Amino acid sequence: MTKILFVCHGNICRSPMAEFVMKHMVKEAGIDGQFEIASAGTSAEELGNPVYPPSRDKMREHGIDSSGKFSRNLRRRDYEDYDYLIGMDSANYRNMCIIFNGDPLRKISLLLDHAGEPRDISDPWYTGGYEQTWQDVNLGCAALLKSIQAEK
């Protein structure tokens, strides 16, 4: 079982989008039974809140349902529980390293690093760019899945 945890600041926009996009991709590939996929936030600001409506609506446009998802905090034990800890931006990466007290097993990466485009996925909460976030998340998730499959 491959376990992936996507991480952003509040766990209401980018990381849930990545979680549900990746779940959709592995289901479409018929390999969803081989994965455990979740998301979390480095901040408690949105703890317990559902996916932010514009993110939810963007996923729904593409036939992806995110209902039932509520924000949760990143926990120290997540480092042991997951194989891949995927941040959406460099601030998430730094916060993950602080929460986990480093990255000795090299589990932490940024999503777009897997696509050969080492850059942040901008936070649509601030930019309003939900379409760009959708495109970046899809690009990163497809590349991450391809990378994981190549490793096996």
Confidence at residue 86, expressed as pLDDT on a 0 to 100 scale = 98
* Catalytic-labelled residue, pool 14, 56, 136, 141: 14
Based on the residue annotation, tell me whether 14 is a catalytic residue of this protein: yes
**What are the tokens at 133?**
């976030």
Q: Write down all domains in the chain, each with its CATH number in brackets.
A: 2-151 (3.40.50.2300)
Confidence at residue 151, expressed as pLDDT on a 0 to 100 scale = 86
* Catalytic-labelled residue, pool 8, 13, 89, 136: 8
Instruction: Tell me the pLDDT of the chain averaged across its residues.
Output: 97
Distance (Å, whole) CA 7 – CA 88: 6
Beta bridge partners of 35: 2
Beta bridge partners of 38: 5
> Which string of b and e fits 50-84 if b means at least 16 CB within 10 Å?
bbbeebbebbeeeebebeebebbebeeebbeebeb
* Catalytic-labelled residue, pool 56, 78, 89, 123: 123
Based on the residue annotation, tell me whether 89 is a catalytic residue of this protein: no
Confidence at residue 10, expressed as pLDDT on a 0 to 100 scale = 97
CB 2: neighbour CB atoms within 10 A?
Answer: 17
Based on the residue annotation, tell me whether 94 is a catalytic residue of this protein: no
Model confidence at 152, pLDDT cuts 50, 70, 90, reads confident
